Structure 1
Amino acid sequence: MNQDKIKMREKLSFAMANFGNIPIMTLINGYLLIFYTNICGLSPAACATLFLIARFLDAINDPLVGFIIDHLPTRKMGHFRPTLILGTILCSVNFLLLWFGPMLSTSGKLAIAYVSYILLGVLFPVMDISLNSLLPVMTEDMKERNSLSTIKGLAYVIGALVIGVAAPLILGDTSNKQGYINLVLIMTAVIFFFSIIGTMGVKERVKPQMENSYSVKELFKILSQKPVYITFLAVLLYSIGSNIVNAANTYFYTYIFEDLTLASIITLITCVAVFPATMVIGNLIGRFGKKKMYAIGLALAGLAPIIRLLDVRSIPLLIVSVLIAGIGAGFAAPLNYGIQADNTDYIEVSMGIRAEGAVASLSSFVSKCAMGIGGAIPGYLLQLAGFDSKAAVQNDDVINVIVLCVLILPAIVNVVAIVIFSKGYPITKEKLNEQTYLLREKRSKAGISE
């Protein structure tokens, strides 16, 4: 198993590749709605319809993109790294169009928004699915996988926190056009350079078995396996809740706290809880298993904000809630991709197929659906409440909608997600150990990657 040992330099490269993936969805989820309303002059309802239609249209292609990536020939550079580099280049260009197209155009802003937003849904999966497929092929060693899963989750947490701190400071306020220009240019550079350099520094060790490549018919059978669809449903619901919060949170700080820079301070406070939780999750997995720890993480991250209902303008309550939620995020984020890798192994054990791309495509699919639903809900509700992008102070109905979206609706969908995962996910700690043993025996007999 020496060849499965991964050096620190490669782990740092893996972290860089994942860090470079963060700005795209983080900025879109947190700032695109308010950018379209306050800078481009689009109505919240028009934006909501855009998010909903575009995301569902392009979400359909994600399993097909995963199928295509799985069936591409393996090159000298590897199976997934070439498509990751191509996807990074295309996504970087389209990311610029997504923001600058509607902002700089004198007419047809909504049409440009539709084209660039739908195009994102076609191009981002090439980058995202390739990235999410790397972990299962970098190593078979479960300890190394858990380490990479922790690194991946930590990179995502750090990336989100860095953007959460930097974006409000760069913007100044949500109606600052030059602030958006600076923010988008900086983040595009991060996407491009971190992703490319990180991708060049990792290796693919587990070679795909082309004789076991699967058909389109088998693709749907793969996606109907219980661990796969239970994970899909739980993560979809949790992500919808997160996207509702992300889309509405900027409005919360702008119109309820009346201080966008407070978001930066709160993000820094979140770090106090997230990083220790992320560092200890590996030991907790060994003791309690991934299933239990993931459910606990979802519960803490998803339900802690409810205490803010006692006083929505209370800074102390805000701090307490983000500290508790930060612990949950520190548990859940690293486990997302470790569970995905376990599901990939489950498919190999139960069907005899390696399908990294197909399983990873669900992450992109979930992201699209969650963005569509989670981004649309605040838009429609703000429109119904009478949101006025030119008003510094909003009416009570708008304030109530913002509170509803940030605190109440996410808690409801999170409860459903926790129940589905806790009751339905079949790969317990004991079954995972058995699954790992069976794979090692199979590959040892075949002389594969050992």
Structure 2
Amino acid sequence: MNHDKIKMREKLSYAAVNFGNIPIMTLINGYLLIFYTNICGLSPAACATLFLIARILDGLNDPLVGFVIDHLPNTKHGHFRPSLIVGTVLCSLNFLMLWFGPMLAPGGKLIIAYISYLLLGVLFPVMDISLNSLLPVMTADMNERNSLSSIKGLAYVVGALVIGVAAPLILGDASNKQGYIHMILIGTAVVFICSILGTAGVKERIKPQKGKSYTVKELFRILSRKPVYITFLAILLYTIGGNIVSAVNTYYYTYVLGNLSWSAILTLVMCITIFPATMFVSKLIGKYGKKKMYAIGLAIAGLTPLIRLIDVRSIPILVISALITGIGSGFAAPLNYGIQADNTDYIELSMGIRAEGAIASLSSFISKCAMGIGGAIPGYLLALAGFDAAAKTQPDSVITVIILCLIGLPALVDLLAIVIFGKGYPLTKEKLEEQNRILAEKRGTVQAE
């Protein structure tokens, strides 16, 4: 077993490749709905149906994509890095078509949106699953793995925050066509450059063992294991809530507060607490375990926004909510991926196979389903409430829907996620320590032979 410490240069590369994974889904979640309604002229209900059908159908293929990636031949460049590079190139091109196709086409805008959205469902998993499969194979040292997990979470948080600040400033206004062009071109460049350079700088140290590949039948057995499906359900629910918020946030700042720039300001406010929380959570994990800290993070991040119901237009309450929510997000973000790495080890111990791609495919599957459901709910509700993209002032029914999607619905699904994870996830701190000890002994024995 290789116990060499991972050098800072490689950790920075790992941070870069994770940072490069952020703009695609962050921009889609936050701006695609309002871009399609205000720039392309599509109805909210049509967009909602697109998001729901395409994402859930695409999500169903993610376990199969993970299966294919797991069974790709090992190369001198590693097992997952080549597919990550190929996925990055193809996904970047399709990302441009997703936005510019419907905007530039004289007709058939919805058809182009469906085609490019469905293609995204095929291409993004190649990139995303390959990336999420790297953590378990970069090191078997648990301290280094926790460090990489924190780096991954921090990169995701930083990426989301950078986009959260930069996007509204670049955009200027929710109906600014030129602003969208600049935003998408810059975002695509970040994806391509960071992903390619970051992939080139990381190493895969844990090699697949001969005879340890799994069948399609075993794939579904993997996905039915309790740690795996409980994690899946909890993250799915929490991410649905996050996607509901992302889809409606631009509407809130545009039609409730009347100033999209507040989106950038509040994102900066969250930095005050989210960065320290992300860096401090690794110490708390050592004392309380991942399960407890993840549940606490979900509770803080998902339920704190309820205080905004006191006055949805109050900037001081909005700032306080953002500060506290940042703590919860800082706790939860790094643990998403550390828990998935632990689940990969659980599968190896209980079934005797390595299945990084299968476990990582859950991330892509969750993202797809959450995007579909979370993006569809605001679209349908806004259509029912009478949203008019041409109107600068919306009726009270639309404002009510915006607030419901911004605060009420996300808190409800988050509460359900906390209960499911807290009651159902079996890998406590003590069980993880025992699992790691047994695996270390088995791996040592295999290498000694």
Fold shared by both chains (TM-score > 0.5): yes
| Aligned AA (1:206) | I
**Shift of the alpha carbon at 1:209?**
1.4
Other-structure match for 2:327: 327
Which residue of structure 2 aligns with residue 248 of structure 1? 248
Aligned residue in 2 for 1:316 = 316
1:167 and 1:183 in contact (8 A); partners too: yes
2:63 is matched with which residue?
Answer: 63
Q: Distance in 1 between matches of 2:2 and 2:140?
A: 11
Give, as a single letter, the amino acid of the residue that structure 1 aligns with 2:114.
Y
Structure 1 equivalent of residue 29 of structure 2: 29
**Which stretch has the larger CA shift, 229-238 or 210-219?**
210-219
Residues 154-177 of structure 1: per-residue CA shift (max 9 Å, x gap):
000000000000000000000000
Aligned to 2:432: 432
% identity of equivalent residues: 76
Please show how residues 270-309 of structure 1 align to structure 2 within 5 Å. Answer: 270-309=270-309
1:33 maps to amino acid? L
Paired residues for 1:386-405 under 5 Å: 386-405=386-405
The whole-number CA distance in structure 1 between the counterparts of 2:188 and 2:201 is: 20
Unaligned runs of 5+ in 1: none
CA distance in 1, matches of 2:321, 2:424: 28
User: Which residue of 2 is the match for residue 355 of structure 1?
Assistant: 355
Give the whole-Å Cα distance in 2 for the aligned partners of 1:159 and 1:175: 24
Distance in 2 between residues matched to 1:114 and 1:63, nearest whole Å: 22
Partners of 1:138 and 1:128 lie apart in 2 by 16
Contact map agreement 1:4 1:140 (CA 8 A) in 2 = no
How many angstroms apart in 1 are the aligned matches of 2:322 and 2:121? 31
Q: Could you tell me which amino acid in structure 2 is paired with residue 29 of structure 1?
A: N
Q: What is the aligned partner in structure 1 of residue 117 from structure 2? A: 117
Partner of 1:80: 80
Q: CA deviation at 1:2?
A: 5.7
Matches for 1:121-200 after TM superposition, within 5 Å: 121-200=121-200
Counterpart position of 1:445: 445
Q: What's the CA shift string for 1:374-410, capped at 9, x where partnerless? A: 0000000000000000000000000000000000000
Structure 1: how far apart are the matches of 2:209 and 2:323?
Answer: 45
Moved over 2 A (4+): 1-4
Deviations 1:88-119 (A, max 9, x none): 00000000000000000110000000000010
Q: Which runs of 5+ in 2 are unaligned?
A: none
Q: Secondary structure at the match of 1:412?
A: helix
Paired positions, count:
449
State the secondary structure of the residue aligned to 2:157. Answer: helix
What is the deviation of 1:4?
Answer: 3.5
Q: Secondary structure at the match of 1:145?
A: helix
Paired letter, 1:365 = F
Q: Distance in 2 between matches of 1:390 and 1:210?
A: 61
Shift of 1:370: 0.3
Assess if the C-alpha contact under 8 Å between 1:137 and 1:206 holds in 2.
yes
Q: TM-score, normalised by structure 1?
A: 0.99
- Counterpart amino acid of 2:304? A
1:223 counterpart letter in structure 2: L
1:297 maps to a residue whose letter is: G
CA distance, structure 1, for counterparts of residue 257 and residue 273 of structure 2:
23
In the alignment, the residues of structure 1 paired with residue 364 and residue 69 of structure 2 have an alpha-carbon distance, to the nearest angstrom, of 13
CA-CA distance at 1:3 after TM superposition: 4.2
| Contact 1:88-1:127 within 8 A present in 2 as well | yes
In structure 2, distance between residues paired with 1:282 and 1:398:
42
Give a deviation string over 1:20-42, Cα, whole Å, max 9, x none.
Answer: 00000000000000000000000
Provide the TM-score with structure 2 as the length reference.
0.99
Give the letter for the 2:391 counterpart.
Answer: A
